[in-house]
Amino acid sequence: MNGIAQPFGIKVCGPEFGQTKFPGVYGVDFIYPDSAELQYFHNKGFRMIDIPFRWERVQPKLMADLDSVEMSRMYTLIRTCNSIGLQVKLTLQNFGRYTMNDKIWVIGSKQLPSKTLADVWKRLAFALKGYDNIYGFQIMNEPHDMFEMSWLKIAQEAINGIRTVDKTHIIFVSGSEFSNSIDWKINNDQLKSLVDSSDLLVYEAHCYFDRDFTGRYLNSKGGTDRTYDYNINSTDDGVEAIKPFVKWLKKNNKKGFIGEYGVPDDDPRWLVVLDKFLYYININGVNGAYWAAGPWWGNYRLSIEPKEGKDRPQMQILEKYLTISH
């Protein structure tokens, strides 16, 4: 993108955990990845990580100063990544919402007007402008069910807010309705009208390969055992799921990023689907970040957190795609 290297990355979770407890207790409800965690992915060849975080923690009061303690954690993370050799993509993991006084408000509502998102991003961009290893800002992860609220208008205000203080970093914009790639044109065609004065705008879609595209990988009874045969018709299903988004990007001459994709670790047939998917987006000039890593996932099947010092099966595929190859 305008000479900027396009690495594939890993979504390393932790800061966004404890989503019903704000601010929550650090180390109990949420956590930031440590240097050993980050070094593992660097050793595997990755040069970018995607860090999800919560609005309520960085800005406990709307339209007010950022929280110094939480920002200190973020600064430490970014500096640690820089010392290791990792770029950082920062993702506001709030789904188009903000929790206030134990109530969840939708952005664009009277209680959470669109200017609040522009405000927090203007503050964040200003606070972070001195760090050279920031890959970009994702202004809102998976906004959905926003009813009459215009995500186009809200996103444009946030872009404008960032550009008043930061002209150089990539801005990522997720699509509405969970950013799903399969119905991107239906839900998000209007986003092609967004304007970025720095021409550094990237559209972010998410893509899972199960039959309902949610990433739950359920079976016919709602469980998670032996899901492959229930969910997959062809090893090209991942390619077919992402094609609508890639076609939209090409038609509208836009840049894209796949901010979430992942497969279970308990059936090697999923690895073929993942491999074909990554090959397809790679040859079409679209990079992305795998969902997910982080020390608290436990037995979560999509996790690529090492188990007992051993790589998860998905890693053998991911290591083949470290940067866009052309």
- Evaluate whether 276 touches 236 at the Cβ level (below 8 Å): yes
pLDDT for 148 equals: 62
pLDDT tens column, 215-268: 999 999 998 888 999 999 999 999 999 999 999 999 999 999 999 999 999 999
- Write down the catalytic residue from 142, 157, 204, 305: 142
pLDDT for 326 equals: 63
In this prediction the pTM is 0.96
pLDDT for 224 equals: 84
* Annotated catalytic residue 305: no
Cα(first)–Cα(last) distance of the chain, in Å?
Answer: 11
Query: How far is it, in rounded angstroms, from Cα 271 to Cα 285?
Result: 21
pLDDT, averaged per 10 consecutive residues of the chain (326 residues), comes to 76 96 96 97 98 98 98 98 98 97 92 96 97 97 82 96 97 95 95 97 98 94 90 96 98 98 97 98 98 95 94 98 88
- Write down the catalytic residue from 37, 56, 204, 260: 260
Cα separations in angstroms, 318 against 86, 134, 260, 321:
17, 22, 13, 6
- DSSP state, 268? T
SS3 content of the chain, % helix, strand, coil (to 5): 35, 20, 50
pLDDT for 147 equals: 63
pLDDT for 2 equals: 44
Query: How far is it, in rounded angstroms, from Cα 30 to Cα 28?
Result: 6
* Annotated catalytic residue 260: yes
Domains of the chain: 9-318 (3.20.20.80)
Please identify which residue in the block is written with the tokens 């390393």.
12
Q: Where are the alpha helices (H) located in the chain, listed in sequence order?
A: 35-43, 55-58, 68-84, 114-128, 151-163, 184-188, 228-231, 237-252, 269-283, 315-318
